[in-house]
């Protein structure tokens, strides 16, 4: 088989599945909205079941629902028949995925689902199948033909099942008013989670780790403090610990250009009185944006009384994964 034929086959599959998805939109009806309402009103969990390839798709649907504000998990129907159905409660909603609607492992569970009295949402390709007839809400995921040239391997049918699951999840996301911060809480290890959940108080240096000197010390003493703390700057405070200035590596270069004696000049005479502060309850991302806007590498953290409580620099944000 030559390369041209392989490309032709690949394009044929993409076209077949695209047409199947396009046709899916014409079949959304009142059952879709009823399914959404059933899940929105669910006091328990959304249980997704499916066998074989439909099971793999079902696992992804459950994962998408859970990460977008609709608590859900996948239960293997074979295991459910051997004890795992005990995970299902009368407060739950069940989504069952089966193109044929006659999957033995799912059909076995139908009397149990009926006895429990929970809503059953069927992602099914045959309306009058056993699953289709038992469903509270029937969502038609039928396809005219699979993308497989043998019309056997689940291809187009699994794609439209996945798309229908995504349609349910995103409709619920919108209905719940689920936003970026909600998404971040479900993904705390991702960059979005760090960006929207990490506060300056989580990354700033405090206590003895802060580079800070009194305004009456010599520049040489301030430089020793900067070296000890390794943040490329030091804060300067008055006798009441109120912030009154900052001195950075850049300021040192400018001071040396003047020929000043670093052992005689006090830090108060060469510190910068124009500095940028931020508060500990602000997001770490805000610190990043401020540094980028001001073209600086460090920030001083103060409370409402302008008392120094922390220091951070760009490296702290890098280590925290905010950058």
Domain count of the fold of the chain: 2
Place of tokens 């009185």: 273
Percent of the chain with pLDDT over 90: 66
- The answer to whether the CB of 103 falls within 8 A of the CB of 54 is yes
Claim to verify: residue 37 and residue 136 sit in the same structural domain:
yes
Summary mean pLDDT of the chain: 90
Claim to verify: residue 227 and residue 166 sit in the same structural domain:
no
The string of pLDDT tens digits covering residues 93-109 is 999 999 999 999 999 99
State both tokens at 189. Answer: 């290890």
Taking CA 54 as the corner, what is the angle to CA 48 and CA 57, rounded to the nearest 5 degrees?
A: 70
Claim to verify: residue 168 and residue 262 sit in the same structural domain:
no
| Structural domain containing residue 261 | 200-319
Task: Classify residue 267 by its DSSP letter.
Answer: G
Count Cβ atoms below 10 Å from residue 11 Cβ, excluding itself: 10
Domain boundary among 148, 178, 208: 178
pLDDT for residue 185: 66
Claim to verify: residue 163 and residue 126 sit in the same structural domain:
yes
Find the mean pLDDT for residues 214-241.
91
Claim to verify: residue 100 and residue 218 sit in the same structural domain:
no
CATH of the domain at 157: 3.40.50.10490
Find the mean pLDDT for residues 156-181.
92
| 239: confidence class by pLDDT, cuts 50, 70, 90 | confident
Claim to verify: residue 17 and residue 61 sit in the same structural domain:
yes
Domain contains 193: no
pLDDT for residue 191: 61
Where helices occur in 68-190 by DSSP H, the ranges are 77-80, 104-107, 110-116, 130-134, 156-176, 180-186
Q: Give the C-alpha separation, 46 to 58, whole Å.
A: 11
Claim to verify: residue 16 and residue 105 sit in the same structural domain:
yes
The string of pLDDT tens digits covering residues 112-128 is 999 999 999 999 999 99
Claim to verify: residue 142 and residue 90 sit in the same structural domain:
yes
Claim to verify: residue 210 and residue 248 sit in the same structural domain:
yes
Domain contains 185: no
Claim to verify: residue 165 and residue 54 sit in the same structural domain:
yes
| Phi, then psi, of 296 in degrees rounded to 5 | -125, 165
pLDDT for residue 90: 95
Coil, strand or helix at 220: helix
Which run of H or E residues covers position 13? Answer: helix 3-24
Domain contains 186: no
- The answer to whether the CB of 61 falls within 8 A of the CB of 53 is no
| 187: confidence class by pLDDT, cuts 50, 70, 90 | low
Rg (Cα) of the chain, in Å, rounded?
A: 31
Domain contains 33: yes
Claim to verify: residue 78 and residue 218 sit in the same structural domain:
no
Claim to verify: residue 157 and residue 16 sit in the same structural domain:
yes
pLDDT at 291 over 80: yes
């Amino acid at each position: 088989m030559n390369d041209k034929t392989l490309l032709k086959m690949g394009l044929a599959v993409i076209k077949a599945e695209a047409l199947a998805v396009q046709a899916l939109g014409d079949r959304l009806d009142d059952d879709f909205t009823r399914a959404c309402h059933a899940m929105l009103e669910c006091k328990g969990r959304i249980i997704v079941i499916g066998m074989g390839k439909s099971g793999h798709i079902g696992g992804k649907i459950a994962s998408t629902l859970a990460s977008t504000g609709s608590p859900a998990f996948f239960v293997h129907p074979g295991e459910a028949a051997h004890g795992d159905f005990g995970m299902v409660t009368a407060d739950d909603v069940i989504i069952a995925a089966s193109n044929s609607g006659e999957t033995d492992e799912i059909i076995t569970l139908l009397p149990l689902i009926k006895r429990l009295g929970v809503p059953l949402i069927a992602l099914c390709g045959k309306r009058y199948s056993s699953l289709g007839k038992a469903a509270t809400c029937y969502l038609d995921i039928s396809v005219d033909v699979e993308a497989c040239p043998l019309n056997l391997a689940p291809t187009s049918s699994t794609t439209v099942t996945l798309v229908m699951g995504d349609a349910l999840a995103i409709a619920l996301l919108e209905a719940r008013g689920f936003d970026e911060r909600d998404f971040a809480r479900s993904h705390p290890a991702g960059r979005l989670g760090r960006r929207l959940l990490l506060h300056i108080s989580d990354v700033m240096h405090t206590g003895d780790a802060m580079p800070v000197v009194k305004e009456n010390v010599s520049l040489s003493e301030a430089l020793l403090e900067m070296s000890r703390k390794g943040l490329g700057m030091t804060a300067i405070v008055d006798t009441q610990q109120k912030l009154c200035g900052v001195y950075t590596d850049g300021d040192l270069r400018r001071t040396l250009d003047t020929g000043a004696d670093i052992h005689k000049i006090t830090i108060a005479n060469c510190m910068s009185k124009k500095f940028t502060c931020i508060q500990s309850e602000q997001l770490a991302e805000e610190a990043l944006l401020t540094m980028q806007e001001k073209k600086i590498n460090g920030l001083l953290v103060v409370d409402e009384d302008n008392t120094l409580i922390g220091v951070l620099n760009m490296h702290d944000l890098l280590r925290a994964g905010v950058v």
